[in-house]
Amino acid sequence: MTLTLADVTLTYPDGDGRLTALDRISLDVPAGTLTAVVGPSGSGKSSLLAVAATLVTPDEGRVVVAGTETAGLGRAQQAELRRERIGIVFQQPNLLPSLTAAEQLQVMTHLSGGSVRGARGRALELLDAVGLADQAGRRPHQLSGGQRQRINIARALMNDPAVLLVDEPTSALDHERGAAVLDLLVALTRSRSTATVLVTHDRTHLDRADRTVRMDDGRLTVPEPV
């Protein structure tokens, strides 16, 4: 299962005209591989993730998530696809202050209509996979920034997504912790067979990615010499 973007164009209203945020982007991300996306601020990286996440509908082009053509889906079906097939990690962890680490993950199952209690085992397994087995009972204020970002990543994997979309997860972390998060993402991509897209500012660890592409002014240039 893969993520495919084919000739995707996205524009936003801009004064009297339109701003082209994505200009005929094509990208294929096979399962079990991680594609890093670099490029200057405002080049369209987050827009690329938003389209891949079906949060934004492109003006033109196709987005195929794990074999499903998203263009034909209604809003409710898109929301279901997002919940069940797509894991999204935003820059800020957005954890709920009153919940423990395990509960942050169990909530995801609740949102998909599953049993919170039944999700406990999977939550603990995923916390273990991100190196936080011993922190399951802690609340966000008792955890470091790096630990919170790991919970954020584990939470995105709770529903066993085919596609994992990650927007600048290391920008709030120091260099060493950033490298550890990247290593973790590569390991999870392999072990969970996700098609992973990682937007990153941190250019120093790009050799860990299977491929690096670059965004410039809405256009994708591939591949970038390492």
19 makes contact, choosing from Mg ion, ligand ADP, none, with CB < 5 to 8 Å by partner type, with ligand ADP
Strands 60-65, 3-14: pairing is antiparallel
Question: Which span sits near ligand ADP by CB under 6 A: 37-45, 112-120, 169-177, 201-209?
Answer: 37-45
Q: Which residue is nearest to Mg ion (CB)?
A: 46
Using CB under 6 A as the binding rule, whether residue 21 contacts ligand ADP is answered as: yes
Name the phi and psi angles at 115, rounded to 5.
-85, 130
Question: Which span sits near Mg ion by CB under 5 A: 14-22, 43-51, 169-177, 207-215?
Answer: 43-51
**ω into 223 cis (within 30 of 0):** yes
Token pair in block for residue 143: 């955890």
Least Å distance between CB 42 and ligand ADP?
Answer: 4
Name the phi and psi angles at 25, rounded to 5.
-85, 130
Using CB under 6 A as the binding rule, whether residue 12 contacts ligand ADP is answered as: yes
Question: Which residues fall within 8 angstroms of residue 196, CB to CB, at 6 or more apart?
Answer: 29, 33, 34, 35, 163, 164, 165, 166, 185, 188, 189
Tell me whether residue 22 or residue 101 sits nearer to ligand ADP (CB atom).
22
Name the phi and psi angles at 145, rounded to 5.
-60, -40
Question: Which span sits near ligand ADP by CB under 6 A: 24-32, 40-48, 74-82, 148-156?
Answer: 40-48
Among 20, 46, 149, 152, binds Mg ion (CB under 5 A): 46
The residues of the shown chain that bind ligand ADP, judged by CB under 6 A, are: 12, 19, 21, 39, 41-47
